[in-house]
Amino acid sequence: MYDLIIIGSGPAGLSAAVYAKRAGLNMLIIEKNPVSGGQIIDTYEVDNYLGIPGVNGFDLAMKFREHADKLGAEFADGTVTGIEKVSDNAKGKAVYKVNTDNGSYETRTVIIASGAHHSKLGIVGEEEYIGKGVSYCATCDGAFYRGKVAAVNGGGDVAVEDAIFLARFCEKVYLIHRRDELRAAKILQNELFGLGNVEVIWDSVVKEIQGEDKVTNLKIENVKEKKESDLKVDGIFVAIGIHPTTDNFADIVKCDENGYIIAGEDCATNVPGIFVAGDCRKKRLRQIVTAVADGANAVTAVQDYLIL
């Protein structure tokens, strides 16, 4: 019987593991991927994590994992398929069973830190140039394109917000959208259209991402005219959606309409003993620093729950 099981080994899960071990909790972290770190392992450079500017994403992930290992955190491989209540303990609190494709584990508390994943274009060159000109987070990587030319793919609020953000320091920003009008809020559209260094490429899709060591060109197709053209850029930001990895938990904890688990800053869900941390939590900003903070807050809440 564990005091705590953490689902996921991204920044939120590893932070929770560190805080749990320092608190003396008997804990287990379950990870489905062969390498810890979550989304940051695919990030070429992280420049906004306090005190460690310009660090490679994979290297930062390894530092997080090494910290957890040094404290003796226990890890198990497996994809979690669900959580179920199996009994009540002597205090009348639930005992949970976390089921995976590699066995089941009983625990007094759970932190869901399963993260989120970005929707991808699924085109030639996308996977090859992730971290080398292909990004899914303008807030994370936009500063690397100061004085350069960037493209944003999408037409919703996030895409338009990304284009506005990038326009602050990029020489030129292209917003590529498959339709002839944007889906973003009008107030965002008005701000976008007032920017002199932003150009919208209407009725178009990106067919291929090209480059050598990094992105240099996009193959664009006008879907109405069926004509292809080249667009010289230094990078492309894909903003066509992000989805929390919460499908296997939606039947036990409360989620919003987009699947994000609802919890406040204490990371407590609507189910006693089950907490959430990181990108799968409903919140305004999803960054490494907020994920790490969630891990710490969640364990503090776990300690309070176990004591009472």
Give the model confidence (pLDDT) of 164-209 as tens digits. 999 999 999 999 999 999 999 999 999 999 999 999 999 999 999 9
pLDDT above 90: residue 281: yes
* pTM, 2 dp: 0.78
pLDDT above 80: residue 44: no
Read off the tokens for 30: 């379950």
Phi, psi (rounded to 5 degrees) for 197: -105, 15
Domain architecture of the chain: domains with CATH: 2-117+242-307 (3.50.50.60), 120-238 (3.50.50.60)
pLDDT above 90: residue 41: no
Mean pLDDT (whole number) for 273-286? 95
140 is catalytic: yes
Q: Which of 3, 47, 69, 140 is catalytic?
A: 140
pLDDT attached to residue 88: 87
Q: Which of 47, 77, 141, 280 is catalytic?
A: 141
Q: Residue 151 — very low, low, confident or very high, per pLDDT cuts 50/70/90?
A: very high
pLDDT attached to residue 132: 95
pLDDT tens digits, one per residue of 201-243: 999 999 999 999 999 999 999 999 999 999 999 999 999 988 9
Which amino acid is residue 176, in one-letter code? Answer: I
Q: Which of 3, 42, 77, 137 is catalytic?
A: 137
pLDDT tens digits, one per residue of 48-94: 899 999 898 899 999 999 999 999 999 999 999 999 999 888 788 99
Mean pLDDT computed over every residue of the chain: 95
280 is catalytic: no
141 is catalytic: yes
